[in-house]
Chain A
């Protein structure tokens, strides 16, 4: 069906190409800093100095700010912003929930001008900033991006399939998956049941959804044995292109929304997808549902993962008045306060505030251990700059026929 959907992403080819050729956008002042031991990025940018709960006192009544954010964290944001408005009666927050790549596109073409933006990850933030610099010759960021909550990209696999995959390859990795999907005989070729058919991998369309873009990025990182410093030249290697093409042949459909895609995995079970590549937070929210439908879904961490770090950024648009900046800064401070950070656990996110205990009572990270959820993470890749990401997307569009 999606083959017939007309897909246009106006983060256009020409702009992207220009970006790649000119090589702009390579400075990195905006990237959240990460420590080498894979702990989450440090917080502590300007906004967080504001004490939570401080009432806004804008001159001349109520200040309205618009906050555009990615759909994955909708429930947490809605609950937190409702609490914020209650404690800050002088500020009204207009919430816009939108897929990150779609939002980036709308911001780039000027149709959306939120004061605050929080996409799912720094990949999309960098992508927009790169495209913005190509178009406007300056950064769109009016603050240092700060992570709100964190979630690594994971594989979720039906337990019986996972056992066969692990037995065949030792560790669940893109290499193991590549081997499994490469045989025309399907599951029996690696010791699975004939009734399972061929090996069906699922991830979203990288041009339309972050998790798909992250999945593609991780294929590259694993293939080149890197966690940073990936280059446009890497993507030109025929061996890498073949690797990607063969893996992608196992994807029956490239869905445009990670949420819908994960829901489909629960609805249709292993008949549609044996392996899905999604955010840990989304996996956590559906593991119980899977039990009630098809049996155990197991979470596996790829050898190199990547954060959905949900950066929150003030955007340099005409809407960013002095009052709006002050109000938005208060909101950021509120969202990063310890209490509010603690509530993110309930929604399956890892708090950006690393001082919060993850395995407290009732935390899904405690409860979901039985399904493979763990706090110990493998190597985490550093998101490259916009033009590098754009080059990878172009390569993907060229070699993987839209399905």
Chain B
């Protein structure tokens, strides 16, 4: 499994290559995002791709692909199989596909758990990253993944509620990052634009150390601050940092999944996010859902990036010449006109230049087919490293209340692993972040903290190490107490991401509060509530409903995965 450090490298190199993309799976069928153990994430992602039932003599190929194009590609695989496509010598071809986050797909190929015929991430950057990773291990002298042809395209945009974009002068004026700044810098927030009921500017972009779309947002913000369109250098950054800090203040929280922001923005409405950095096809997709108001794509006047979905037939020992030929037949099928037209119907821009751009890539679906008009120039590696350092300095700090279940059922390995996970979570936070601990059973003791991660790390670790298991579970009371604590600090931590992170291994047994009371209590969104269901006895439905009410996300973990679940959660901060 990849570590945050590794992701940082991935994101930087990805951007050096001029590609912006996401890295995280995007299951589209759940009302509440399970950011972690969805069927598309590791753990469950190790089933073989080969179909053992394929008739002998037939050629079986597998495609491991970025989940953004899941709907389209699943349809095409079915259509291809039904079309009885064959090799020139008459043998039949069978295709199996697996949607997965592009970064995870790459990590799977590198660690040997995935051996696909074709790798098709969201962005060409991952093809190069895979080659770099591949050639740096096991004395591989040759690249594994050719550049590959793009399958479908989608630009990266700032998705914004239409009335908000209009309040900023859209569509007569082409908006950019400076317009986000205008609202976030205004003490009255949207009130300064005649809409006090919208509150402050609430922005969603992913964590730049985990996701390319987050890094390119940061880069675009820096360019806007430097008033440049190219040639950003490390020397520009100190002057730009105050600007960056002002934009980052608008961020509700970070994350590693662009898709998460897309779904959550639609589900939760403008009280949760005013705008989020998304793929254009997600804006189009929002028109097939019920939304409180329409969403439009803002193509930042400063420039943006494309997600290009390359199709790379691997040059690997496990790929036979027959499979390469079969993969070529499948590629030709995917590039054919009707398949490309179907991709456009789903909101992607077709790669076939003979296809005229038409609905749904139009104003009726919130997008402009004549945009983007320019791309940002990607600076060199050292400048990007400096940019990330500047982001670390200017990112919105977090005030987190950590709610940790120590009831009797946690005894033994579950508690040991959860402690490791909690410490890994804290280790991933920024030095400026504050953490308060509430370690509960049937009692909800006074909170420990706030402790600053940079200064008080030893005390935090020691407090976690000292936890012993015993007692019952007052989950709702502990969560409610944590939420109230953050509400009471509302003024003191007004420039911070305020979040409650709850972990429990069972059902509530002893709270005075009822679930519906808690849900009502956290519904004013003074802080965001994230929940983790730990082990089989936890109640995922209840924890998911708490996260939903708290505008946060929910994850499931077990003894084997809890450390990673905590680490993933840290990407929100």
Q: Which residues of A contact B (CB under 8 A)?
A: 1, 3-5, 184-186, 193-198, 200, 252-253, 263, 266-272, 286, 289, 292-295
Q: Is the CB of A1 within 8 A of B230?
A: no
Q: Is the CB of B356 within 8 A of A292?
A: yes
Closest to B302 in A: A197
> Which residues of chain B (333-376) have a CB below 8 Å from chain A?
349, 351, 353-357, 369-376
Given contacts A4-B131, A195-B174, is CB(A267)–CB(B353) below 8 Å?
A: yes
Q: Is the CB of B353 within 8 A of A263?
A: yes
* B17 at interface, CB cutoff 8 A: yes
Q: Which 8 A-B pairs have the closest CB atoms?
A: A197-B374, A292-B356, A266-B353, A289-B353, A271-B372, A197-B229, A198-B230, A195-B301
Task: Known A-B contacts: A3-B17, A200-B374, A295-B370. Give 4 more (CB < 8 A).
Answer: A193-B373, A197-B302, A198-B374, A200-B375
Interface of B is mostly: loop
Tell me how many residue pairs across A and B have CB atoms closer than 8 Å. Answer: 83
> Within the assembled complex, what's the spacing in Å between the Cα atoms of A200 and B128?
24
Given contacts A197-B229, A289-B354, is CB(A1)–CB(B17) below 8 Å?
A: yes
Which residues of B sit under 8 angstroms from A253, Cβ to Cβ?
A: 18
* B66 at interface, CB cutoff 8 A: no
Q: Is the CB of A1 within 8 A of B306?
A: no
Q: Is the CB of B230 within 8 A of A197?
A: yes
* B377 at interface, CB cutoff 8 A: yes
> Within the assembled complex, what's the spacing in Å between the Cα atoms of A294 and B132?
35
Which residues of B sit under 8 angstroms from A263, Cβ to Cβ?
A: 353
Closest to B303 in A: A197
Closest to B357 in A: A293
* Least CB distance, A257 to chain B, in whole angstroms: 11
* B155 at interface, CB cutoff 8 A: yes
* B92 at interface, CB cutoff 8 A: no
Q: Is the CB of A1 within 8 A of B128?
A: yes
Q: Is the CB of B127 within 8 A of A197?
A: no
> Within the assembled complex, what's the spacing in Å between the Cα atoms of A4 and B135?
12
Q: Is the CB of A198 within 8 A of B132?
A: no
Q: Is the CB of A5 within 8 A of B373?
A: no
Contact of A198 among B125, B127, B229, B353 (CB under 8 A): B229
Given contacts A1-B147, A196-B374, is CB(A292)–CB(B128) below 8 Å?
A: no
Which residues of B sit under 8 angstroms from A1, Cβ to Cβ?
A: 17-19, 124-125, 127-128, 147
> Within the assembled complex, what's the spacing in Å between the Cα atoms of A209 and B276?
41
Q: Is the CB of A4 within 8 A of B128?
A: yes
* B153 at interface, CB cutoff 8 A: yes
Q: Is the CB of B373 within 8 A of A196?
A: yes
* Least CB distance, A2 to chain B, in whole angstroms: 8
Q: Is the CB of B373 within 8 A of A271?
A: yes
* B228 at interface, CB cutoff 8 A: yes
* Least CB distance, A200 to chain B, in whole angstroms: 7
Given contacts A186-B229, A263-B353, is CB(A198)–CB(B373) below 8 Å?
A: no
Closest to A2 in B: B147
> Within the assembled complex, what's the spacing in Å between the Cα atoms of A5 and B147?
9
Contact of B356 among A184, A196, A267, A293 (CB under 8 A): A293
Contact of B373 among A3, A267, A270 (CB under 8 A): A270
Which residues of A sit under 8 angstroms from B369, Cβ to Cβ?
A: 293
> Within the assembled complex, what's the spacing in Å between the Cα atoms of A91 and B79?
41
Q: Is the CB of B301 within 8 A of A198?
A: no
Given contacts A196-B373, A198-B374, is CB(A184)–CB(B128) below 8 Å?
A: no
Which residues of B sit under 8 angstroms from A193, Cβ to Cβ?
A: 373
* B231 at interface, CB cutoff 8 A: yes
Q: Is the CB of A184 within 8 A of B353?
A: no
**Residue-wise interface mask of B (136-176) relative to A, using a CB-CB cutoff of 8 A (1 in contact, 0 not):** 00000000000100100101000000000000000000100
Contact of B374 among A195, A267, A294 (CB under 8 A): A195
Which residues of B sit under 8 angstroms from A195, Cβ to Cβ?
A: 174, 301, 373-374
Q: Is the CB of A272 within 8 A of B375?
A: yes
> Within the assembled complex, what's the spacing in Å between the Cα atoms of A253 and B375?
13
> Within the assembled complex, what's the spacing in Å between the Cα atoms of A200 and B374?
9
Q: Is the CB of B17 within 8 A of A270?
A: no
Give the most central of B147, B371, B373: most A CB within 10 Å: B373
> Within the assembled complex, what's the spacing in Å between the Cα atoms of A49 and B551?
82
Q: Is the CB of A271 within 8 A of B377?
A: no
> Within the assembled complex, what's the spacing in Å between the Cα atoms of A4 and B155?
24
Closest to B310 in A: A1
Q: Is the CB of B230 within 8 A of A271?
A: no
Q: Is the CB of B306 within 8 A of A184?
A: no
**Residue-wise interface mask of B (282-322) relative to A, using a CB-CB cutoff of 8 A (1 in contact, 0 not):** 00000000000000000001111010000000000000000
Q: Is the CB of A286 within 8 A of B229?
A: no
Which residues of A sit under 8 angstroms from B231, Cβ to Cβ?
A: 184
Given contacts A268-B306, A289-B353, is CB(A184)–CB(B230) below 8 Å?
A: yes
Which residues of B sit under 8 angstroms from A267, Cβ to Cβ?
A: 150, 153, 349, 351, 353
> Within the assembled complex, what's the spacing in Å between the Cα atoms of A267 and B309?
13
* Least CB distance, B344 to chain A, in whole angstroms: 12
* Least CB distance, A261 to chain B, in whole angstroms: 12
Q: Is the CB of A294 within 8 A of B370?
A: yes
A sample of 24 inter-chain contacts (CB < 8 A) reads A1-B124, A1-B125, A1-B127, A1-B128, A1-B147, A4-B128, A4-B131, A5-B147, A195-B174, A195-B301, A196-B373, A196-B374, A197-B303, A197-B375, A197-B376, A198-B377, A200-B374, A252-B375, A267-B153, A267-B353, A271-B371, A272-B375, A289-B354, A292-B355
Q: Is the CB of A271 within 8 A of B228?
A: no
Which residues of B sit under 8 angstroms from A289, Cβ to Cβ?
A: 353-354
Which residues of A sit under 8 angstroms from B230, Cβ to Cβ?
A: 184, 186, 197-198
Q: Is the CB of B301 within 8 A of A194?
A: yes
* Least CB distance, B341 to chain A, in whole angstroms: 13
* Least CB distance, B328 to chain A, in whole angstroms: 16
Which residues of B sit under 8 angstroms from A185, Cβ to Cβ?
A: 229
Closest to B358 in A: A292
Contact of A271 among B124, B132, B155 (CB under 8 A): B155
> Within the assembled complex, what's the spacing in Å between the Cα atoms of A196 and B301?
8
Q: Is the CB of A270 within 8 A of B374?
A: yes
**Residue-wise interface mask of B (6-21) relative to A, using a CB-CB cutoff of 8 A (1 in contact, 0 not):** 0000000000011100
> Within the assembled complex, what's the spacing in Å between the Cα atoms of A268 and B349?
10
**Residue-wise interface mask of B (112-141) relative to A, using a CB-CB cutoff of 8 A (1 in contact, 0 not):** 000000000000110110011000000000
Closest to B375 in A: A271
* Least CB distance, B369 to chain A, in whole angstroms: 8
> Within the assembled complex, what's the spacing in Å between the Cα atoms of A39 and B354?
33
* Least CB distance, A23 to chain B, in whole angstroms: 39
Which residues of B sit under 8 angstroms from A295, Cβ to Cβ?
A: 370
Closest to B223 in A: A197
Q: Is the CB of A252 within 8 A of B18?
A: yes
Which residues of B sit under 8 angstroms from A186, Cβ to Cβ?
A: 229-230
* Least CB distance, B323 to chain A, in whole angstroms: 23
Which residues of B sit under 8 angstroms from A294, Cβ to Cβ?
A: 370
Given contacts A184-B228, A271-B155, is CB(A293)–CB(B373) below 8 Å?
A: no
Q: Is the CB of A4 within 8 A of B373?
A: no
Which residues of A sit under 8 angstroms from B301, Cβ to Cβ?
A: 194-195
> Within the assembled complex, what's the spacing in Å between the Cα atoms of A184 and B231?
8
Closest to B304 in A: A271
> Within the assembled complex, what's the spacing in Å between the Cα atoms of A161 and B236?
29
Closest to A270 in B: B373
Which residues of A sit under 8 angstroms from B174, Cβ to Cβ?
A: 195
Which residues of A sit under 8 angstroms from B302, Cβ to Cβ?
A: 197
Which residues of B sit under 8 angstroms from A268, Cβ to Cβ?
A: 153, 306, 375
Closest to B376 in A: A197
> Within the assembled complex, what's the spacing in Å between the Cα atoms of A295 and B372?
13
Which residues of B sit under 8 angstroms from A3, Cβ to Cβ?
A: 17
Which residues of A sit under 8 angstroms from B19, Cβ to Cβ?
A: 1
Which residues of A sit under 8 angstroms from B124, Cβ to Cβ?
A: 1
Q: Is the CB of B306 within 8 A of A292?
A: no
> Within the assembled complex, what's the spacing in Å between the Cα atoms of A205 and B301?
29
> Within the assembled complex, what's the spacing in Å between the Cα atoms of A185 and B374?
13
* Least CB distance, B21 to chain A, in whole angstroms: 13
Give the most central of A3, A193, A195: most B CB within 10 Å: A195
* Least CB distance, B63 to chain A, in whole angstroms: 20
> Within the assembled complex, what's the spacing in Å between the Cα atoms of A337 and B2?
64
Q: Is the CB of B18 within 8 A of A293?
A: no
